[in-house]
Structures are given as C-alpha cells and as structure tokens.
A and B are shown apart, each in its own frame.
Chain A
Amino acid sequence: MGTGWLSYPQLLVAKMRFTIQPEVILSHVEACPDAGGFVCFEGRVRNEHLGKDVVALEYEAHPEMAIAQGEQLLAEAIERFRLIDAVCVHRVGRLDVGELAVKIDVSAAHRREAFAGCEFIIDELKKRVPIWKKEHYADGNSGWIGIQEQPVTVDSVYDRQMRLPEVGVEGQNRLRQARVLVVGAGGLGCAAIPYLVAAGVGTVGICDGERVHVSNLHRQPMYGPGDIGLLKVDRVAVACGRLSPFVQVNAYPEQLTVENAEGMVKGYDIVIDGTDNFRTKFVLNRTCTSLGKPLIVAGIYKFDGQLLVIVPRGSGGCLRCVWPTEPTDGRIGTCADVGVLGFVPGLFGVQQAAEAIKLILGLPSAATSNVVVQNLLDGTQVLLPRAVSPDCPICSGIATVSD
C-alpha cells in the first residue's frame, strides 16, 4: 500500500484509547462493577454512496495527528458524558463491503450516558480526526472523500444574512468574535440558542444544572424523549455541534448563583436571561450591571410576556429600577403551576436572540429603553418607557452583595 500505515503499531502504547490499525478489530471495554450500560457502535463499509455502487473503501490516516485528536476526543467524551471508559479503533487500508471500519465501545453507569457519549464520539470523529477514505466504485472509478472536509464555508453559510447592509462582512466578523452567555436551557434558552448559533455568534456559553424532564419536551424542542435524564447543557452542546461547525459552545452544568455569577459572566460580552425565577434574574442584573455587560431579560406568564434589554449605565436603568423588590415566585406563578404552551417562551427566546444579535451589530431596539409587554393571545404589544429609578440601590452604586 505504501502509505506508511504499517508503522502505526509503533505508536500504540499501553492505555491508549484511540488506535488505528490495519488488522481486524477485536476491541472492547472491560466490565467493571459501577458500569451498567455498555454501548458499541460499528461502522461498516456500505455498498452505496450518493447513488453510486461502492465495492470497497480505502482508509488513510495522518497517524500522529489522528491518534492525538482521537485521544483528546475520547477524553472529552468521558468527561462530558460522565462515561466510565471509551475506546475507539479505526482500521486503515482497503476494506471490502460489509467489513468493520470503525468500532467505538463505551461504558457508563446508565444507558443514557452511554448512548449519548457513543453518538457524540462517532459524530465528532468524522469532523475532527484526520482520516480520509477513498471509495472504489463498481464502474471502476474511485474518489477520495475527506472525512474532515467541511462542505460549508463562512461565505456560503452566511451568504443570505451578509447580503443585508446591516450585516455585511464586517457584521459577520463581529458576530464571529462575539461571546454570548445563555443562562437557562429551558423554554427561552432552547429558542434563543439555535438562532445565536445559526447566525454565527462565535462563542455561546450555556449555563444550566438541570437534567431533561419528560415535562420539558413540549416546550423545549432541543430535547427529545431519548434525552430524558441527561444534562440539558450536554444535549444542547451536541445539538449545536450539528448546527454549525463554526461556533464554540461552552457548557456549564451548574445553576447560576451569587457565588459563581461573576466568574461565569465576565468571560462574555452579552448575557441572555433564560431563567424562570426572580432570584436568579436579580443576581444576573446585579452582576451584569457591575461588570458592564448588557443583559437581555424575558419572563412569561401563560400567553403574556415581558422583554427588556438592560444596557450598562443606560438611561433605561436596570431590572431593579423596574421591580424595586424581588417578587417571590409563589406570588407570580410558575410554568409548572399555571401551565404554558411552548410557543410563548419560544417567541420570547427568539426575540432575546434577536436582541443579542442587534446589540452585536449595533442595530437599534425599543427594548433597551422600554419594557416590551406582549400578549400572544390577542397579539397586543405595549412599550412602557423605562428610566433610572432614584431609589435603585444598584444604579445609585450603593448595592451590596446581599442586595
């Protein structure tokens, strides 16, 4: 074959999880007392590709890079999906139809993590690890398929939005450099996040410590029944990875608190509040105001919702200027208590993404100086102008952490 792959076994050292070899695959993960779910993925040579009859495949790798990338990917999957172990073997050389080309074995405490982790590994493997395949067709022709090859470029993906004078090349660059933190991956976050990612916002952070519950599915369309019990941020990160190759997604599997808020927020340019309680909204308001970060707040009640963009030191003041005392959740009703239809947080979440994108592009918004009050049942909207409250402890600079 002359491609050098015969030297690969020299690269294999003990405890490596990712291997490349010409030989038949015999890998597996070891049983251990705390592993209850084992998932194995086998990728085999298929006899068809895009309408052409395939008779064989030939795999070639950049061995050092492939192993380094593969090891990193498996370590990341183990951490992200709380796997107990994960191994992957990719064959190289010529393989006939039906032969095993790649095998991934993972173990986890429960099946859900194991399935999710295994899917993540094969999806990412195809994107990141430098292994190429040559297809041999029944008609005698052949062609290389770059596994890493991105059929998409910045210019092609964002062509339609870059045509807008409000975006253009410069605006797209701004979007790419922007860092947006979304706190809460529920009804609001599930709507905001895909539009941020699709528009090419360069870095999207997602903070949520909750796991997917069956009662979330009707209004949080980034999750399906197979995600129940898994960490929301992990599922969102996987979904975003599918949406765009250009976006860095940072997943924080924790609730935002007074203690971690500053550390979380300071690495971002803009924060979207997708939370469902005033305790966290107030913490975000104080943190973003003191760090000088714009905060995009939304809240809903059945078919009603409110949207406001808090610009640091803006004439519209902050959230405390609108709501001087923290409303307790028992008095205002939660989605769990009063019910909710998914499109209500959905429409407000999309508007939050729109406000973030407009801030990045320097476009105007009524929400920076008003509370936007909308009712989605009768279609009414009221703009209530905001102003700095002379009694606001935050805008007057006298708030303490306990406020």
Chain B
Amino acid sequence: MKVVVSYYASLREERGHGQETVNIEPISVSELYKQLNLTLPIEIIRFAVNNQFVPAGEMLSDGDRVAFIPPVAGG
C-alpha cells in the first residue's frame, strides 16, 4: 500500500525533500519512522495521520497522509 509522508524541520533536510510517497506493508506509524532510519530520536517525534495527532502504535492504511513533527524551539 502507499502512503504520503511529510517531513518537517530537520527531518526535511535529512530526507532531502518535504514530501514523498512510499510503498509499505501494513505497519504502525512509528514502525514506518524506524524503517526510514532518521537520526532524530523517536521519543521526541509526534506523529500525525491525515492531519490528526495519533499515538505511536497507530496502524497505517492505504492512502494515508503521514507527517513527522519534531519539536522546534528557535526564536
């Protein structure tokens, strides 16, 4: 199945783009994050699916729009 993933802040830089479509097996949103091998520790990331915050164990469905939101504090 396919999901559209959006990246913010340093995740965007690490991934090289702000959005991509990925092909995945039915997994949870945090498992997807782990598979992407991103360096920001998973404990500090908030997950959103279809513009709603969801818990780490939220299972993904075909066509979901996933966003990984890291905290930002600059000012």
Residues of chain A whose beta carbon lies under 8 Å from any beta carbon of chain B: 184, 186-189, 274-278, 281, 298-302, 304-306, 322-323, 325, 327, 329, 331-335, 338, 340, 345, 348-349, 371, 373, 375, 378, 380, 382-387
Determine whether the beta carbon of A378 is less than 8 Å from that of B18. yes
Determine whether the beta carbon of B53 is less than 8 Å from that of A340. no
Of the residues A278, A371, A383, A387, contact of B73 by C-beta under 8 Å: A278
Which 6 A-B residue pairs are closest in the complex by CB-CB distance?
A: A301-B9, A301-B72, A299-B72, A188-B75, A276-B75, A327-B71
Q: In the complex, how many angstroms separate the beta carbon of B56 from the nearest chain A beta carbon?
A: 11
Known A-B contacts A332-B10, A382-B67, A384-B53; A305 and B72 likewise in contact (beta carbons under 8 Å): yes
Q: B6 contacts which chain A residues (CB < 8 A)?
A: 382
Q: In the complex, how many angstroms separate the beta carbon of B46 from the nearest chain A beta carbon?
A: 7
Determine whether the beta carbon of B51 is less than 8 Å from that of A384. yes
Known A-B contacts A187-B75, A383-B51, A384-B52; A304 and B8 likewise in contact (beta carbons under 8 Å): yes
Q: B52 contacts which chain A residues (CB < 8 A)?
A: 384-385
Of the residues B51, B53, B72, B75, contact of A332 by C-beta under 8 Å: B72
* Cα separation A348 to B44 with both chains bound (whole Å): 22
Q: B18 contacts which chain A residues (CB < 8 A)?
A: 375, 378, 380
Q: B51 contacts which chain A residues (CB < 8 A)?
A: 382-385
Query: Taking chain B's interface residues, is the majority helix, strand, or loop, or is none over half, making it mixed?
Result: mixed
Q: In the complex, how many angstroms separate the beta carbon of A59 from the nearest chain B beta carbon?
A: 47
Determine whether the beta carbon of A333 is less than 8 Å from that of B10. yes
Q: In the complex, how many angstroms separate the beta carbon of B57 from the nearest chain A beta carbon?
A: 14
Known A-B contacts A331-B44, A384-B53, A385-B53; A323 and B71 likewise in contact (beta carbons under 8 Å): yes
Residue total for B at the interface (Cβ-Cβ under 8 A)? 24
Which residues of B in the span 9-56 have a Cβ within 8 Å of any Cβ on A? 9-10, 12-13, 18, 40-41, 43-44, 46, 48, 51-53
* Cα separation A195 to B52 with both chains bound (whole Å): 32
11 further A-B contacts with Cβ under 8 Å, apart from A332-B10, A332-B40, A375-B12, are A187-B75, A189-B75, A274-B75, A275-B73, A299-B71, A299-B75, A306-B69, A306-B71, A334-B73, A334-B74, A387-B53
Determine whether the beta carbon of B72 is less than 8 Å from that of A300. yes
15 examples of A-B residue contacts, CB within 8 angstroms = A184-B75, A300-B74, A301-B70, A304-B9, A323-B44, A327-B44, A327-B71, A329-B73, A334-B73, A334-B74, A338-B74, A349-B75, A373-B69, A375-B8, A382-B6
Query: Taking chain A's interface residues, is the majority helix, strand, or loop, or is none over half, making it mixed?
Result: mixed
Q: A322 contacts which chain B residues (CB < 8 A)?
A: 46, 53
Residue on A nearest B43 in the bound complex, by CB: A325
* Cα separation A275 to B8 with both chains bound (whole Å): 20
Known A-B contacts A304-B9, A373-B8, A382-B51; A331 and B75 likewise in contact (beta carbons under 8 Å): no
Q: B67 contacts which chain A residues (CB < 8 A)?
A: 373, 382, 384
* Cα separation A176 to B43 with both chains bound (whole Å): 44
Q: B41 contacts which chain A residues (CB < 8 A)?
A: 331
Of the residues A186, A382, A386, A387, contact of B75 by C-beta under 8 Å: A186
* Cα separation A306 to B52 with both chains bound (whole Å): 15
Known A-B contacts A383-B51, A385-B53; A278 and B71 likewise in contact (beta carbons under 8 Å): yes
* Cα separation A335 to B10 with both chains bound (whole Å): 12
Known A-B contacts A375-B8, A383-B51; A298 and B69 likewise in contact (beta carbons under 8 Å): no
Determine whether the beta carbon of B10 is less than 8 Å from that of A277. no
Determine whether the beta carbon of B70 is less than 8 Å from that of A335. no
Of the residues B10, B69, B72, contact of A384 by C-beta under 8 Å: B69
Q: In the complex, how many angstroms separate the beta carbon of A366 from the nearest chain B beta carbon?
A: 12
Q: In the complex, how many angstroms separate the beta carbon of A165 from the nearest chain B beta carbon?
A: 32
* Cα separation A322 to B47 with both chains bound (whole Å): 11
Known A-B contacts A304-B8, A332-B10, A385-B52; A323 and B46 likewise in contact (beta carbons under 8 Å): yes
Determine whether the beta carbon of A332 is less than 8 Å from that of B8. no
Q: B71 contacts which chain A residues (CB < 8 A)?
A: 278, 299, 306, 323, 327, 332
* Cα separation A373 to B44 with both chains bound (whole Å): 16
Known A-B contacts A332-B70, A373-B69, A384-B69; A275 and B75 likewise in contact (beta carbons under 8 Å): yes
* Cα separation A238 to B70 with both chains bound (whole Å): 37
* Cα separation A388 to B10 with both chains bound (whole Å): 27
* Cα separation A298 to B75 with both chains bound (whole Å): 8
Q: A304 contacts which chain B residues (CB < 8 A)?
A: 8-9, 12, 72
* Cα separation A383 to B46 with both chains bound (whole Å): 14
Residue on A nearest B8 in the bound complex, by CB: A304
